[in-house]
Amino acid sequence: MQSVRTILNLSQPVTSSPERQKLQEKYQFQYIVGQDPKLLDILQTIGRVAPTDAPVLITGESGTGKELIAEAIHLNSRRKSKPFVKVNLGGISATLFESELFGHVRGAFTDAKTDRIGRFELAHRGSIFLDEIGELDLSSQVKLLRVLQERSFEPLGSSKSRTVDVRIICATNRNLEEMVAKGTFREDLYYRINLISVKLPPLRERPEDIPLLAEFFMNNLKEIYHRPALQLSPTAVQWLRTLPLPGNIRQLKNLVERTVLLSGQDRLEVKDFQINLTANTSAPRSLPEVGTLTLEEMEYHMIQRAMDFHQNKVARVARSLGITRFALYRRLEKYGISYDADDV
């Protein structure tokens, strides 16, 4: 009986405002939780453009749901029964880029022992998701532009062109317009990937969705860990709404899961979450390797972490960082970290 109820819980959408319901009837968005007007606008847009072949650029801070939206575009398109191929351009060097995207023939370079099919070919008739496109170096940008213009490419080491029919979806948490202005991102490529653009709001700009998301994650955890009695206390839900959550939805999801696992309680209270919050920020716990962070980035992470830990109590944050409140305000403004005006 219990498990039946749990399953029902899972399959019932947590969100059900009339606007959201209307979208639900037209499109497949069941895994995307939220009913903030900004999110509903986005769902409306992607629902409308999904069936076309228009390229879509998805931007937004880390953890705001860019990949989820990219998948939703594919699922609501006529290509849904064809492949959805993800490529993370963040970790790819210029040489690897070509072999990864366009494939290679045997002998194209020393390690090319066999032919390899590239991601563009794998995505034929489906969609390709080019994640972290802002990380691509200029020489790879040229190569990508060519495929997007001509829909054809040659695998490394081959002179025979191949043609593909692929829908392009890109994502980045960088500001591409700024990069274009600085000359680090090609303007022609920018216009080609950016016919339709979707900007996901940070979670702190849609706090009303935090309780819905927390509830959704709890319901999933009930199922995954066979703990049907799990619940959030109402004060805990209210408290979660006030968190700055720089890691956005991913951070909230991790925080809820970590707290469920570590607290051992079925009913989660504010204190259970507080214990887990500090270990949950996106900043590293010990000092990072030389060359991985600038001093300024370290400062940003440390301030963010102290703000999380002291729940935005500016006076305490300043004390813990060994600076005056005014020095802290200056930095909060500089880094665009939100704080409680009441506390000023």
Residues near ligand ATP, by CB under 6 A: 32-34, 60, 62-68, 173, 213, 216, 249-250, 253
Q: Which is nearer to Mg ion, 66 or 206 (CB)?
A: 66
Distance between CA atoms of residues 180 and 63, nearest Å: 24
Placement of tokens 């006529």 in the chain:
78
Q: How many CB atoms lie within 10 A of CB 251?
A: 21
Q: Which is nearer to ligand ATP, 62 or 184 (CB)?
A: 62
Q: Which is nearer to ligand ATP, 67 or 269 (CB)?
A: 67
Distance between CA atoms of residues 69 and 75, nearest Å: 10
Question: How many residues line the site for Mg ion (CB under 5 A)?
Answer: 2
Q: Which is nearer to ligand ATP, 100 or 132 (CB)?
A: 132
269 in contact with Mg ion (CB under 5 A)? no
Rg over alpha carbons for the chain, rounded to the nearest Å, is 23
CB of 261: closest distance to ligand ATP in angstroms?
16
CB of 193: closest distance to Mg ion in angstroms?
16
Please report which residue ranges of 134-279 form alpha helices under DSSP H.
138-150, 176-182, 187-193, 209-224, 234-241, 248-263, 270-277
CB of 217: closest distance to ligand ATP in angstroms?
8
Site for Mg ion in 197-236 (CB under 5 A): none
Give the nearest residue (CB) to ligand ATP: 65
Q: What's the Cα-to-Cα distance from 104 to each of 91, 115, 126, 164, 273, rounded to whole Å?
A: 19, 6, 21, 16, 50
From 19, 53, 61, 67, residue interacting with Mg ion (rule: CB under 5 A): 67
Contact window for Mg ion (CB under 5 A) among 58-66, 75-83, 242-250, 287-295: 58-66
CB of 163: closest distance to Mg ion in angstroms?
29
| Helix, strand and coil percent figures for the chain, each rounded to 5 | 50, 10, 35
Provide the β-strand partners of residue 104: 116, 156
61 in contact with Mg ion (CB under 5 A)? no
